[in-house]
Amino acid sequence: MSAAPVILRCRELALDLGAPRIMGILNVTDDSFFDGGRHLAPAAARERARHMVAEGADVLDIGGQSTRPGHVEIPEAEELARVVPVVRALAAEFPGLPLSIDTYRPAVAAAALAAGAHILNDVHGLQGPGGVELARLAARTGAAVVVMHNDPSLRRIPADPDPLPSVLTWLERSLALAAAAGVPADRLMVDPGIGFGKTPGQNLALLARLGELHALGCPLLLGVSRKSVIGHALPELTAPADRLEPTLALTALAVRQGVQLHRVHDVLVNRRAARMAAVLGAGGGRFFNV
């Protein structure tokens, strides 16, 4: 397994990835697939953030635009109104905690960075309409960038293919866009985009081979918490509320493949699962510090 950088630089902060880290999901939305609406009010969002920090979250990922299947795009002004006050409040309350803004809109990203965010999490991997502007914004501000694989054309290739070559090629293009804009390598992470533009079989194939994504030379982020890929594999689990235990299993298996950052709804239990898996050592002889 190729060695990945162990420090992610996020503006003035540094996130040590020598141990598995947990990114808590803070959905400031009304329609996210698991907890949409629960934390839409700023006070509720702040309280949820405090709870996740108390449980050991290493990063908080704040999003105001749902990207679940069938989501409706909200106006930019509404997304700004949802996330900027929350980012500003959390940056003041937790000054040493990296904050991620989950958006593909440059104006929202810029406002969140001005309010104190440190990481841009782009579900289009810098290959969406605002991707070049997002990359330049990160380069100017020193923000870290998560580039996620999200290529719907993958669904249209022949049945039962190996998705990994296509995913690697697509993510290489994202990393090249970031580099061309001047984003240093130590400010980049990649996310295989489980549940985005993929068939259930392709999602499962990627989860089984996450370690091969280290060939890209960047730390890895995985977001699989309570997602429909679990329901496809275990059809009796139709509701996201029933998918905690499989999420923990996937977190542990991902740690064994060297995944460094885990984006989850349930911080404490995923942190415990990740630490236990890390004690046993990641695949290829690579061990985390716990």
pLDDT over 50 (residue 287): no
Q: In the prediction, which pLDDT does 87 show?
A: 97
d(CA 102, CA 63): 5
Number of domains within the chain = 1
Does residue 72 contact residue 86 with C-beta atoms inside 8 Å?
A: no
Residue 2 within any structural domain of the chain: no
Residue 268 within any structural domain of the chain: yes
Does residue 116 contact residue 160 with C-beta atoms inside 8 Å?
A: no
- Tokens 């989850």 identify what position? 264
Which residues, including other chains, have CB under 8 Å from residue 208's CB and lie 6 or more apart? none
Residue 262 within any structural domain of the chain: yes
217: region left, alpha or beta (phi > 0 left; psi from -120 to 50 alpha): left
What percent of the chain has a predicted confidence (pLDDT) above 70?
Answer: 90
Does residue 171 contact residue 178 with C-beta atoms inside 8 Å?
A: no
- Tokens 């990835």 identify what position? 17
Q: In the prediction, which pLDDT does 41 show?
A: 82
To the question of pTM greater than 0.85 for the whole model, the response is: yes
Residue 165 sits in a domain of what CATH number? 3.20.20.20
Residue 290 within any structural domain of the chain: no
Strand 144-148, strand 119-122: pairing = parallel
Q: How confident is the model at residue 1 (pLDDT cuts 50, 70, 90)?
A: very low
Residue 63 within any structural domain of the chain: yes
Residue 168 within any structural domain of the chain: yes
Per-residue model confidence as pLDDT tens digits over 216-269: 999 999 999 999 999 999 999 999 999 999 999 999 999 999 999 999 999 999
Q: How many Cα atoms sit within 13 Å of 260 on the Cβ side? A: 24
Residue 115 within any structural domain of the chain: yes
Q: How confident is the model at residue 69 (pLDDT cuts 50, 70, 90)?
A: low
Per-residue model confidence as pLDDT tens digits over 75-114: 999 999 999 999 999 999 999 999 999 999 999 999 999 9
d(CA 212, CA 208): 10
User: What is the extent of the structural domain holding 112?
Assistant: 7-282
Hey, which residues are catalytic here? 227, 263
Q: How far is CA 171 from the centre of its chain?
A: 14
Q: In the prediction, which pLDDT does 172 show?
A: 98
Per-residue model confidence as pLDDT tens digits over 99-157: 999 999 999 999 999 999 999 999 999 999 999 999 999 999 999 999 999 998 887 77
Helix (H, G, I), strand (E, B) or coil at 243: coil
Residue 139 within any structural domain of the chain: yes
Helix (H, G, I), strand (E, B) or coil at 288: coil
Nearest to 207 by CA among 154, 250, 265: 250
Quickly count: other Cβ atoms within 10 Å of residue 162's Cβ. 12
